[in-house]
A and B are shown apart, each in its own frame.
Chain A
Amino acid sequence: MDADNDAPIHPMKRNKQRVLLLSSRGVTQRMRHLMSDLEALLPHAKKESKLDSKSQLHLLPELADLNNCNNALYFEARRHEDLYMWAAKTPNGPSIKLHVQNVHTMDELKMTGNCLKGSRGILSFDKVFDDTEWGKLTKEVFTHIFGVPPMARRAKPFIDHVLTFSILDSKIWFRNFQILEKDPQQPNAPPKTSLVEIGPRFVLTPIRVFEGAFGGATVYSNPEFITPTAVRTLIRQRKGDKYGKRKD
């Protein structure tokens, strides 16, 4: 036996995370595909069947517990067009509610990148996350949910992609890139890192941060957030005004 190998006497501390991934009823095909993309990207995620009721979110922590998960990622579809994402730590919280926009799934984006299924991705956060307190909390929660722990059952031993989270226009933009170390055209050239996007893409607008898991006191609310329904109402109202003026 190697003398070097029995060095760790005290057990190593590990990052143990499991994520429950599920959606509400009424998700469209695109939302469903986004979920399956995320499931493929996150080998430590456990997919559950759709949650029946939109008003009984308190069932989710129990469900996560039944599946031995300590995180939950819940997609809530409203009116078959608006998608909300809840990122929560179960059972004690916090939970973050975000509005998902500009969804492009891996399937519809014709991107040439590819990576090992279940390889651990690098998580990249830009500096704005550290500027605000809610940003720091979001970073922490996303680290738990989107970071693949090293001991995940289906994780592969190499690192070949980067998940980037960037705050721009007070929204969180998500991208996924493959890391290429060699130019496929010139395999003998000195290695130089380049990236190819894999997909999916989406933009998250934070809405609220709750103290508990899927409930509890609001500790942050985004003052700039306007519900998509309000936006649509406004557009329709304007259209109506135009017609009214023309009629007069």
Chain B
Amino acid sequence: EDAIPKRKIEVDNTDALRRIRETIQLNPSLPWTETLVISFPQTIEVDVDDDLNRELAFYKQALYSADRARTLAASQSLPFTRPADYFAEMLKSDAHMERIRSRLLDERAGIKKSE
């Protein structure tokens, strides 16, 4: 009953972490187009349980990154926007997108009916 709760041993060996990171680090002279990494300059401070605001914060982060990436891509002449006549296999298949579409239509019809 009176067992002493086991204390977890915390390890945070910052020197080792830094050393490891330096060994695996990509060459800093690599152009940005090789990695496409964008760092968002803000910290996200929202209530974790507040779904709407949390998702909005993620959206803002992604939007900032997209805009920043577009200007960077333009400056390094990396093709960014997909031309309208470029067709290739998509991540979600047509069948999947059709399922999503029909579901949206169903929902809309349901709302209309209830009005």
Contact = CB atoms under 8 A, between A and B. Distances in A.
Nearest to A37: B91
B70 A193 contact: yes
Interface in A46-93: 89, 92-93
A128 B45 CA distance: 11
A235 interface: no
Residue from B33, B65, B96 with most neighbouring chain A CB atoms (10 Å)? B65
Interface string A184-197: 00000000011100
Interface string A205-225: 000110100000111110100
Given A126-B44, A126-B61, A223-B8, A120 B36 contact: yes
B62 A127 contact: no
Interface string B31-60: 001111111111110101000001101110
A110 B100 contact: yes
A219 B13 contact: yes
A134 B37 CA distance: 18
A32 interface: no
A41 B11 CA distance: 34
A221 B44 CA distance: 23
B114 interface: no
A117 interface: yes
B65 to A, nearest CB: 4
B110 interface: no
B57 to A, nearest CB: 7
Contact of B35 (A15, A195, A217): A15
B97 interface: yes
B109 interface: no
A143 interface: yes
Given A134-B12, A159-B80, A117 B26 contact: no
B3 interface: no
A159 B90 CA distance: 13
Residue from B13, B79, B92 with most neighbouring chain A CB atoms (10 Å)? B92
B29 interface: yes
Interface string B82-93: 100010111110
B80 A126 contact: no
Residue from A41, A118, A126, A127 with most neighbouring chain B CB atoms (10 Å)? A126
B100 A107 contact: no
A157 B42 contact: no
Residue from A134, A158, A160, A208 with most neighbouring chain B CB atoms (10 Å)? A158
A173 B58 contact: yes
A140 B20 CA distance: 10
B111 interface: no
Nearest to A198: B91
Nearest to A225: B8
A245 interface: no
- 4 tightest A-B contacts by CB? A124-B65, A15-B34, A133-B17, A158-B82
8 contacts: A94-B20, A116-B89, A117-B90, A126-B44, A136-B18, A143-B37, A162-B62, A193-B63
